[in-house]
Structure 1
């Protein structure tokens, strides 16, 4: 349940409409509060403040109507610009990266400011009375409306600069890289932080263990690890999952094995949805970066510089991993392993990072040279022999693919030189 609530809150918080809706609600409260303040404050008191609106009811109506009309018009224009920018970004970087634009706080605040100002002016406008009616001009509320109009103008200037920067591929790569780093820090424990369990997991009893089958399909977005541990301890069982966050779960697919009494509760602890999310799925952030690089290397775009930037960020992520353990497979409670979860290993992680870039960039010597350099830098920091073996495998594949596609002798010599540097880095680390 906790995992499901966490995913729901994350989805709600990142949605394009949530923050603007909150801002509209605050605008409603501000309008009511300002009008109530006007009803309690004497006009003579307000005249002591020259910056407070002091005009007539007709003037207040005209001002509020002008602000409301202009703000909603600007909102429509600015978000037409946003749609055009998203179309451009989608063709260059891939549609899966569009959610970074929709959950961008700057875009949400811009929309929220315009709509909140519009709602505020409408609510205050309905309270203005003049002529044969009992006269009432909410001077404070009208002044606040003018202030919101000035804020909207400042937000418009900010938005124009912000949207221009948002479609910059370097900024998008950095945002996805930051997500990858956050996932690594959350899912990859520091060496020594989580010692191995004191007891090995007991094998599941085939006479009592039962299959847990998914009731619906979708990507596994999150696991409630703490809840599953408590559940296993309560029933004295071992829960063995067959899927990990990021994998697609088909309806009726076996997702776990456990004691019969825990079947329904295990199913409830697995949160599935229509799309992948990055908090527990490190490969998702990696694949988003790789997609940017692969699209950049396509003949239609032919931008090796973006692919090189992606390789730099992937290398930085692997350098962070070098001081950490891979995600835990076994989770213990009371000295007994109670939960077993499939987890990404180092070889699989590097495969996701480098295979497609190598396959699509083999004809770009600059990209292959940078890939060998990145592997050498990571190898200098990595002490684990198994991980160095994975890096050595990718370096050999890179050299072989690049030499096969490169005809220029000078480029071939550069590739072989970079490979020798990689070998020297591995040998230096081993020594």
Structure 2
């Protein structure tokens, strides 16, 4: 694992920010205690009495604030558990990552950690200090007020997160960002095609293999580092996976052909991240699957909320529209000198279409409102795609969606409603509708 990936994981872990706040709390206690011991006795006459507190009053303040901080922390953890339970049972277990990685959640826990450690250490130091006038209780009160403000903020924030529409919107915005980052301009070369004879000549050489060092999901590929590494060692790599795939330990993840002596150890740790669970660092499909799971859960007989499913379908359609506008079927990657360095097949646009709707099709085929919403989303996707080949793929995929619908058995209004959108769809795609 390279250093950037390590710090990325540490930064997004639940314990990192509370630990950082705890360390800052210890530093703050040290500074304020030094002020009480060295500065306050010298300038106490110049400090307004409102900022100074006696030892007995300070003891009462610290005791009360420790209890209050623990109470707020307990309620916060209880609220977190309620949100997690709601996500698991009604939305998508995969969406738990989004809530737990939220900076507000982590900063709230961090502030409570800061406040509790600050008050506890001050109370402990107070028994060793017979000073009559102290400045530290004033700062403790400010920290307590700040903690209360963060507590109110978290309750407001958690109330939004348990609303399914807010969650759907958040996932949609995060996935949109991932799509933009996945297809932004690169410093290395990206190509859809490459000279076939050159590739054949490369593959005639002795092929070597890089094996997965552990089992897990492919979470991230550091393309910049990988291209630089292959250029330095004069290699051509061919990936045997796609981001989001599960690989068992010992599975070949890369094949490579060396054209000179290799300078570095041949290992994937520095440019490939394998983890225990899928993440949305580079995995567009995984992010979209969260919306799919919310839609499928909403269509279950226990919940029976087709409007939530329709909302998810509309957001999926919007993401597919963004994907269609940015999608590049890149397979070959070259260095600054135009030399082939990496062969890695990407997911096709049809793969994203299929992943987005095949489960919703299966569970929602008996609800005409869901079927209509899928057809409408595909129709709008075809309009904005501005690509004849993609439009053809979308039309064919729409026919796949309708294979599970008994059109002849629809009631008159349902039939006319669906036929209306299909006629517009067929007219736009230049196809004939035989209904």
Query: By the TM > 0.5 criterion, same fold?
Result: yes
Secondary structure of the residue aligned to 1:126 is helix
Task: Quote the residue 1:144 is aligned against.
Answer: 139
Alpha-carbon distance in 2 for matches of 1:174, 1:379: 22
Correspondent of 2:371 among 363, 368, 372: 368
Residue 386 of structure 2 is aligned to residue 356 of structure 1: no
Is contact 1:212-1:257 (8 Å) kept?
A: yes
Is contact 2:190-2:330 (8 Å) kept?
A: no
Alpha-carbon distance in 2 for matches of 1:296, 1:197: 39
Correspondent of 1:168 among 160, 163, 169: 163
Correspondent of 2:332 among 320, 330, 338: 330
Alpha-carbon distance in 2 for matches of 1:156, 1:343: 44
Task: Quote the residue 1:265 is aligned against.
Answer: 266
Please report how far the alpha carbon of residue 335 of structure 1 lies from its aligned counterpart in structure 2 after TM superposition.
1.7
Task: Quote the residue 2:301 is aligned against.
Answer: 299
Correspondent of 1:381 among 375, 379, 384: 384
Correspondent of 2:318 among 313, 316, 319: 316
Secondary structure of the residue aligned to 1:244 is coil
Task: Quote the residue 1:286 is aligned against.
Answer: 288
Task: Quote the residue 1:78 is aligned against.
Answer: 76
Alpha-carbon distance in 2 for matches of 1:138, 1:211: 72
Assess, with a 3 A threshold, how the Cα gap between structure 1 residues 423 and 270 changes in structure 2: closer, same or farther.
Answer: same
Assess, with a 3 A threshold, how the Cα gap between structure 1 residues 7 and 307 changes in structure 2: closer, same or farther.
Answer: farther
Farther off after superposition, 365-374 or 69-78:
69-78
Please report how far the alpha carbon of residue 46 of structure 1 lies from its aligned counterpart in structure 2 after TM superposition.
4.4
**Structure 2 alignment gaps of length 5 or more:** none
Assess, with a 3 A threshold, how the Cα gap between structure 1 residues 47 and 57 changes in structure 2: closer, same or farther.
Answer: same
Task: Quote the residue 1:17 is aligned against.
Answer: 15
Please report how far the alpha carbon of residue 398 of structure 1 lies from its aligned counterpart in structure 2 after TM superposition.
2.7
Residue 59 of structure 2 is aligned to residue 56 of structure 1: no
Alpha-carbon distance in 1 for matches of 2:377, 2:342: 36
Is contact 1:190-1:323 (8 Å) kept?
A: no
Alpha-carbon distance in 2 for matches of 1:188, 1:406: 44
Correspondent of 1:110 among 105, 108, 116: 108
Task: Quote the residue 2:424 is aligned against.
Answer: 421
Alpha-carbon distance in 1 for matches of 2:397, 2:37: 74
Alpha-carbon distance in 1 for matches of 2:213, 2:429: 48
CA RMSD of aligned residues (A): 2.6
1:257-282, CA deviations, whole angstroms, 9 ceiling, x for partnerless residues?
11366695243332211011112211
Residue 173 of structure 2 is aligned to residue 178 of structure 1: yes
Farther off after superposition, 73-82 or 350-359:
73-82
Task: Quote the residue 1:236 is aligned against.
Answer: 234
Assess, with a 3 A threshold, how the Cα gap between structure 1 residues 239 and 44 changes in structure 2: closer, same or farther.
Answer: closer
Task: Quote the residue 2:5 is aligned against.
Answer: 7
Alpha-carbon distance in 2 for matches of 1:281, 1:312: 20
Please report how far the alpha carbon of residue 181 of structure 1 lies from its aligned counterpart in structure 2 after TM superposition.
0.8
Alpha-carbon distance in 2 for matches of 1:77, 1:406: 53
Assess, with a 3 A threshold, how the Cα gap between structure 1 residues 264 and 221 changes in structure 2: closer, same or farther.
Answer: farther
Assess, with a 3 A threshold, how the Cα gap between structure 1 residues 342 and 290 changes in structure 2: closer, same or farther.
Answer: same
Please report how far the alpha carbon of residue 414 of structure 1 lies from its aligned counterpart in structure 2 after TM superposition.
0.9
Farther off after superposition, 174-183 or 43-52:
43-52
Please report how far the alpha carbon of residue 348 of structure 1 lies from its aligned counterpart in structure 2 after TM superposition.
0.9
Correspondent of 1:153 among 134, 140, 148: 148
Please report how far the alpha carbon of residue 7 of structure 1 lies from its aligned counterpart in structure 2 after TM superposition.
3.1
Assess, with a 3 A threshold, how the Cα gap between structure 1 residues 371 and 178 changes in structure 2: closer, same or farther.
Answer: same
Assess, with a 3 A threshold, how the Cα gap between structure 1 residues 355 and 237 changes in structure 2: closer, same or farther.
Answer: same
Secondary structure of the residue aligned to 2:403 is helix
1:112-156, CA deviations, whole angstroms, 9 ceiling, x for partnerless residues?
222211100122223325xxx762256221101011111122222
